[in-house]
Structure 1
Amino acid sequence: MTVRSGDHDHLDGNALAGPLSEVFAVDVTAATGRCVNCGRTGPVAALRVYDRAPGLVARCPGCDHVVLRLVRTPDAAYLDLTGTVSLHIRLPPAAGEPGT
């Protein structure tokens, strides 16, 4: 969802799906993160993403604290998760694990 009005000029966290797919082998937008500032937990897809800077800045929808920054250069990606306490990413069972 894109929101472009007044003070709420942001995209939702699904805007991170493509850029983060270059770094991670799984869809990180489905992961659950915890904000370092207010402790809110929720899916990365629910973050407020601002794309009018060099890169993407994702903010907590609860307290507006910066949770994630991603900058892509021609030959590298810079990912800053300083505003994230944890990131819970569901993975398929490893080969040889029960359920495979």
Structure 2
Amino acid sequence: MEIDGNALAGDLAEVFAVEMTAARFTCAGCRHADAIATLRVWTPVPGAVARCPNCGDVVLSLVRTPTRVFLTLTGTARLEMPV
């Protein structure tokens, strides 16, 4: 059965309600895994660009506008968050 993304609302709210700097990422480029807090972050560009401390690949980018937050995790092979 296919349903729309609204079905994820409760789960996503619970997941992103945690302290994200303790969450662990796995770099899609080099497979280095560590806490979000270890990423190397560059600002200000249009937002924040976070790079892997091991290989320098972009792991995530975050752009905040007055009405939205855009989070791109293209360089993340996996994101583990404590619940």
TM range, normalised to the smaller chain? Answer: 0.7 to 0.9
Q: Which has the higher strand share?
A: 1
1:45 aligned to 37, 41, 58, which one?
37
Unaligned residue ranges in structure 2 (runs of 5+): 1-15
Partner of 1:60: 52
- Provide the identity percentage: 50
Tell me the equivalent position of 1:69. 61
Q: Report deviation, 1:52.
A: 2.3
Counterpart CA distance in 2 for 1:32 and 1:79 is 16
Structure 2 residue aligned with 1:82: 74
1:50-86 deviation digits (Å, cap 9, x = unpaired): 0120100000000000000000000000000000001
Q: Identify unmatched segments of 5+ residues in structure 1.
A: 1-23, 92-100
Distance in 2 separating the partners of 1:75 and 1:56: 17
1:7-62 deviation per Cα after TM superposition (whole angstroms, max 9, x unaligned): xxxxxxxxxxxxxxxxx211111001000000000000000000120100000000
Q: Does 1:35 align with 2:27?
A: yes
Q: How many residues end up aligned between the 2 structures?
A: 68
TM-score (norm 2): 0.80
Please, what TM-score do these two structures have when normalized by structure 1? 0.67
